[in-house]
A and B are shown apart, each in its own frame.
Chain A
């Protein structure tokens, strides 16, 4: 019997570290060759780590949410034969994680030592009661990052636990025990808890007046920001920290384009698929970018170089279960309306199902963000760094407009676009957006190369 160590593979493109987002095995499991062991996430894509050997899992090298360096140990597997671990090196097993802990999100190592140790202790010795006697106060602080806050906050639907005497007293006082935090063992509500609750209520309430307030809610939920969420957080922080944004809003009369769109859908909808506004907007941006290459660009601020592109690789901000993703339509300039529509559909499906490849999630030169019917009147989109422009689509509504001295009903839609003011001036941005507006308001021009 030998021990085989699988290390974090180099996923490419100069990536030095990846985030562990899921374990598919636990200590003691038997794994087959090519069985998926874990999912890790890079900047853009989620990658599965397969097992190169068959054997029994001895130790996991990290916990979910942990950022691990390429080349670090992912897993130890006991195999028939020699394995790849030199005899004698075995005792130096780094960061072996008990199985129970691996399943739970863990506080970052920066937290206090006590907090970091607590979950391990709880996993190893289930006999230790989680709560304490409750008389030494400040329970919320005490529980910090451990899994014990069950002692304080009931999950929705859980019955409050209190002795018959406490229940009776609560009824007499007209207190709903559901709202009384319990500091006793396993969240039990003690006489003291009830007294404290009543005293608090009395303080907040002038004497003799019935309590008219709505119930206090004391539940809280700790959501670890890991995986895609963490990536989004980092990207957004980066974009807002580096880029001096400015946002330009213009309204667009979509009446004619809508007439065209409805007509195209009536004529070709069945065989070619239905068109939304998006392919038209993509086409308008492709055309507008030709005269404004400074917005279809990526700006490397460290090297002080802006790269302008002839091609338009269009990022489409897409909401997925896990959060915001930006799949990319490659060479949008080559696509007609239906090809574009089909590509948008394919990419958004791929992103939503987690099947989008790394290539499909990188390399955009400009981005569109649209919330459809939820688009609102105005938005302030955040630029998809290192791009320099993003076009936001607001809601389309019928509005009364004045045309030739008469009030007429027109389909109006706002575009809210943000630009990187370091490389795009207000004048360029305005001209770019006005170009788009011109194409959309006179749709025939969309098809003139």
Chain B
């Protein structure tokens, strides 16, 4: 068997993997990247990007649809229609452009991309097969291996994917819009896609096992989302467990917290109950790496328990975020090139593209209290922000958490239309170790939603100007 040799072998071409490869190549390291499907991983192909495209399209259609009735803006539209096939084609175009872009970047930097599925042979060697039937895999050896295989969607044991039961991947490429959609899981994926389908015209019911939606965020932060779901007519069943499909397969059996069972008619059932590290089916267990639950255990340099075997991204557990994987990948490439680096971010912002959007960075008031910090908390409502009014979206607020003793900001949270863009300011102030006075003393352009950031800091200092 021919063995190819390289310095760095990256398994997986998602955001973590391709960034590792590009940065390593920039630093002069001979790099091979193995990817079985399209470059770009979950994020570009079936995650972040396509979902945002669909959210945008659904919102545009929803707007047009609203203009068919009485409009405060004085706009009237007649007969708004949507050609979902064209919508999906448009979305696929964006995905193609981006994944093609990744390929071009890798090529430009001299990364060797091998198409195929990697199977671990040992800590320095993998076999790459074109498909399951491929009996002549290519064997590649590298001094370093970066594991970046990401995560996979979690299915429900009693209700496997197939037929009416779809995953978020399928939900992003519909051929038609179901009349009745049941979404299992009230986390960010379920709500983002549930809202898309609602705006496209489906009757949507979200079933969540816990007693509130977005259980990972605090209740105050999710309140505007709850209100918006109600206004848009999305049914939400809390404290309810999905038992499976009924006998005829056209309804979902749901048990509420009191133990009562009922059936929800469904043309499609979207299961979005979370993602788990992709650790099975490619020989990873042969390396006997130390694990941390279902994820691979790594230190603050993304080293696994085996020398020169590194793991990044979703494979290393929560938070499963593309930007975390990219930062880890960049760092690993630099460490391999001989630089001293650590993964020590002050904060990793998390954004939820519901309507309205939710963003958190750093510590919440509850986190800070748990850590024993004496903190000031202040929030500024978008109802007092001029730009929010001009956008017809005054729901929500920006909240800041800062230490009482030296006013250093330890966390930001926001909910409202378009607040995802504020995450930039949030992360930046946290990484810079900014104090309330730093943000309060920075001139923020008027009229923008960002003024609420400055006002929240001012309010924490006791002298907000617009409230």
A contact set with B: CB distance below 8 Å:
126-127, 129-131, 147, 150-151, 161-164, 167-168, 171-172, 174, 184-188
Contact = CB atoms under 8 A, between A and B. Distances in A.
B73 interface: no
Contact of A163 (B403, B432, B463): B432
Contacts of B341: 168, 171
Contacts of B438: 185
Counting chain B CB atoms within 10 Å of each CB, which of A150, A184, A187, A188 scores highest? A188
A163 B463 CA distance: 27
Contact of B437 (A127, A161, A162, A171): A127
B433 A161 contact: yes
Contacts of A164: 431-432
A129 B437 contact: yes
Contact of B462 (A126, A174, A186): A126
B407 A186 contact: yes
B340 A174 contact: yes
B407 A171 contact: no
A104 B101 CA distance: 61
Interface residues of B, number: 21
A127 B463 contact: yes
B406 A150 contact: yes
B433 A171 contact: no
Contacts of B445: none
B393 interface: no
Interface in B372-422: 403-408
B340 A188 contact: no
A171 B461 contact: no
A61 B32 CA distance: 75
8 contacts: A129-B407, A151-B406, A163-B433, A168-B341, A171-B341, A185-B437, A186-B408, A186-B433
A49 B357 CA distance: 56
A184 B339 CA distance: 27
Counting chain B CB atoms within 10 Å of each CB, which of A126, A131, A147, A172 scores highest? A126
B344 interface: yes
A346 B457 CA distance: 57
B337 interface: no
A162 B433 contact: yes
A429 to B, nearest CB: 55
A126 B431 CA distance: 23
Contact of B435 (A163, A172, A174, A185): A185
B429 to A, nearest CB: 11
A168 B330 CA distance: 13
A129 B435 contact: yes
B342 interface: yes
Nearest to A188: B433
Contact of A171 (B342, B405, B431): B342
Contacts of B403: 186
A171 B341 CA distance: 6
B344 A161 contact: no
A174 B341 CA distance: 10
Interface in B288-306: none
Given A151-B406, A171-B339, A163 B431 contact: yes
Contacts of A162: 433
Interface in B422-467: 431-433, 435, 437-438, 461-463
A227 B431 CA distance: 43
Contacts of B463: 127
A373 to B, nearest CB: 37
A186 B431 contact: no
A163 B433 CA distance: 7
A340 B64 CA distance: 95
Contacts of A127: 437, 461-463
Given A174-B340, A186-B407, 12 more contacts: A126-B462, A127-B437, A127-B462, A130-B406, A150-B405, A151-B406, A163-B432, A171-B339, A171-B341, A172-B340, A184-B433, A186-B408
A184 B437 CA distance: 13
A308 to B, nearest CB: 58
Which 7 residue pairs of A and B lie closest in terms of their CB atoms, listed nearest first? A161-B433, A186-B406, A186-B408, A171-B340, A188-B433, A127-B461, A163-B432
Nearest to B341: A171
A127 B432 CA distance: 20
Counting chain A CB atoms within 10 Å of each CB, which of B407, B433, B461 scores highest? B433
B400 to A, nearest CB: 14
Nearest to A187: B406
Contacts of B431: 163-164
A381 B461 CA distance: 55
Contacts of A185: 406, 435, 437-438
Counting chain B CB atoms within 10 Å of each CB, which of A161, A163, A184, A187 scores highest? A161
Contacts of B344: 167
Contacts of A186: 403, 406-408, 433, 435
Contacts of B346: 161
A163 B341 CA distance: 14
Interface in B304-363: 339-342, 344, 346
Contacts of A147: 405
Contacts of A168: 341
B339 A172 contact: yes
